[in-house]
Structure 1
């Protein structure tokens, strides 16, 4: 049981005395490939988000020649969550064009931005319902379903990232057997928080896990949650647009930054990239292309859903770009994390997103997605995207280089004790550099006297001139780059054009 006090019991997990083991992360399904072993050389405070989350999907090229067009013109800032030093429309911090170490330094400047804390319970007569919340006037419509995934009654515990309007949420779920006919033998609750940014939610994973167990054992005792909210609440502007303009700093504020232990990496989305890539193997290159084209990607998995929320984040990281101006005039690539049937209406208007669900009914809603992932099976119902499912020689070569770099990194860490880089840095930078090389080449060719993209250019970008032709056609259209793509074949050259917006 968690002791009640006048202040939130954060020290129980934020400060680990020397010689004692760190708190364990949430229980995960053994079928998942996420390892709970800590990284020996993981830097503290690691923020793995890259840049370039603001690009859009485009209609696939259907012929040998297409004109690039950008039908959507809202000015969305580049970067995973906006331009560097700026705040985007969701209120998230931004790291455009920064190196991993610079982004890590920028993370230290983020403030706690908790805008709501809540308890959700399952009632045998009313179903999922919000039992308690602070502030009492906050709009939590739908949170009772987002924080307790469909099918959760079959598992003992889980954690869930989700999106609620302009906010992001993290909830910890637990299911405890009870001898109660009224509760039908089981008591199920979730304790969660909302914030304008998901980048710091992982800090409170252990606290939320403790609190949901506390709520199961002692229902109705909310003083630790009240103290937590008072300590961490964000100050929002009167307009109520969800953007944080100021956040009070407490005595715990600086200590939280000093106490980010490497062992807690599995509770942060940035700590899962290596497991994500090992899980999908060479198919990671298929996902990379769909992500770079900003397709609507939906991941299905039965509960537990926590590790699948990490895969949503990782899919977004595959398309990081740090070249200024790339995708500045196309819609944002939205990470929705966990979704359910209540989100169908919202998804109908989305042009680009990545999400996960535990509800199989979504597979039948083909108008809502372009790519559907079930376990390690990646598929698309769109005929024009079918060729992208095939792994070509260039894809295998990239995956070989990625695996080789990882082995060299592990060797360096073990033999030389080199802790300056870790697997997460390596994977994120690998794809960012790959993407930067592609766009840099395309922009240079588009700005040259002869804007013709040859097979040599394509190979220099790390692509297959034949196998990646359709991918390049779509890429030129999505990003509005004006070049002539010449692909040799036995009959005649095939050309493709795009407009540089």
Structure 2
């Protein structure tokens, strides 16, 4: 079992050229276009999560005005790191931010990076071992506490998920369904892209299931984080993913995604998915409960000074319990003498027998419950 936070390489990028890296023989082809997102010349600072082959990367970007005709009045640099997992990259965020500022003011001063790499580096895993760590779906139990599985305590600052909820509002329920169905979700936003990378992570958390055996046969919901046109060939082969981009041209590449998110606008060109963009009564009720639980938590924190519970924990647990509720009910129906999905069993899942019928049919097909019979009452309830 390889450590989840192996440091594979450090690198520095100027403009869109790789100017330095350790180790020297690391294949970093294309990383210069990931470490500086398209359109970054419009922002002064940013950070970017991305995938490079079987590794995950974090790069911190900075842009400084200079009196240089060669640099066209602006010096743009990015300093980044590759690791076998995205889950602990946030530990190096402040170091990378400091180093990119240092590179802006003292170009070519690499000794701090070299010293840090020598201190943190690990041997590359042997070939053939899969080191990609995607969003976990069955790796942890139903109860969340501050000994949470480390892969769930990712890269986000405090408040990341509450910002996600506030940004999307009720639309979060649409994203939840699409994530649970393992659809290909692409999020567009102009720079800065850092906060959008956090939305990629939050989308992954919507699809967590902790019931043993559930989801084993479905495509892994892979977080790609930031992608650009150089990733098109890789995305063409993916059955399920969530990613973000600053390049508007992706909207025209309709074969690459099932769902396109532009700010709060969630849309699809797949006729079979379009009805899922409408909120059911059950969706609205779940969102009301989520909002109510958040308000109660905030009140409790204010009254008692409770710093243990967090909105992040509440968010993850809310959707985990909802997902477990659905699949626990489906498992019970599948094991019964009369394996038929009825209005009562749909309500037991927390779904709307009429408004969620199509979602349920997609779910049965995706997770291999297609042998279950669906009551005709669901189409006219």
Question: What TM-score comes out, normalization by structure 1 length?
Answer: 0.70
Deviations 1:130-149 (A, max 9, x none): 00000000010110000100
Would you say 1:420 and 2:308 are equivalent positions?
A: yes
Structure 2 CA distance for partners of 1:144 and 1:435, relative to 1, 3 Å:
same
1:316 equivalent among 201, 204, 208:
204
3-state SS, counterpart of residue 384 of structure 1: coil
3-state SS, counterpart of residue 26 of structure 2: coil
Corresponding position of 1:15: none
Q: What aligned pairs does 1:244-255 form with structure 2 within 5 A after superposition?
A: none
Corresponding position of 1:376: 264
Corresponding position of 2:169: 281
1:361 equivalent among 241, 249, 254:
249
1:332 equivalent among 220, 241, 252:
220
- Do the aligned partners of 1:112 and 1:233 also contact (CA within 8 Å) in 2? no
Corresponding position of 1:394: 282
Corresponding position of 1:118: 11
Would you say 1:483 and 2:376 are equivalent positions?
A: no
Deviations 1:38-94 (A, max 9, x none): xxxxxxxxxxxxxxxxxxxxxxxxxxxxxxxxxxxxxxxxxxxxxxxxx6xxx6xxx
- Do the aligned partners of 1:269 and 1:314 also contact (CA within 8 Å) in 2? no
The alpha carbon displacement at 1:304 in A equals 0.3
2:297 equivalent among 387, 406, 409:
409
The alpha carbon displacement at 1:490 in A equals 8.3
Structure 2 CA distance for partners of 1:201 and 1:270, relative to 1, 3 Å:
farther
2:47 equivalent among 159, 165, 171:
159
- Do the aligned partners of 2:282 and 2:352 also contact (CA within 8 Å) in 1? yes
Q: What aligned pairs does 1:43-62 form with structure 2 within 5 A after superposition?
A: none
Q: Which runs of 5+ in 1 are unaligned?
A: 1-86, 92-109, 123-127, 245-264, 494-501
Corresponding position of 1:176: 64
Paired with 1:489 and 1:292, the residues of 2 have a C-alpha distance of 21
The alpha carbon displacement at 1:182 in A equals 0.8
Paired with 2:104 and 2:378, the residues of 1 have a C-alpha distance of 67
Structure 2 CA distance for partners of 1:152 and 1:489, relative to 1, 3 Å:
closer
Paired with 2:280 and 2:237, the residues of 1 have a C-alpha distance of 33
2:81 equivalent among 193, 197, 203:
193
Question: What TM-score comes out, normalization by structure 2 length?
Answer: 0.91
Corresponding position of 1:219: 107
Structure 2 CA distance for partners of 1:220 and 1:162, relative to 1, 3 Å:
same
The alpha carbon displacement at 1:238 in A equals 4.3
- Do the aligned partners of 1:466 and 1:487 also contact (CA within 8 Å) in 2? no
Q: Which runs of 5+ in 2 are unaligned?
A: 133-152
Structure 2 CA distance for partners of 1:425 and 1:176, relative to 1, 3 Å:
same
Deviations 1:383-412 (A, max 9, x none): 110100001111010000001111111111
Equivalences, count: 360
- Do the aligned partners of 1:236 and 1:243 also contact (CA within 8 Å) in 2? no
The structure where helix makes up a greater share of residues is 2
- Do the aligned partners of 1:167 and 1:242 also contact (CA within 8 Å) in 2? no
Paired with 1:455 and 1:349, the residues of 2 have a C-alpha distance of 38
The alpha carbon displacement at 1:420 in A equals 2.9
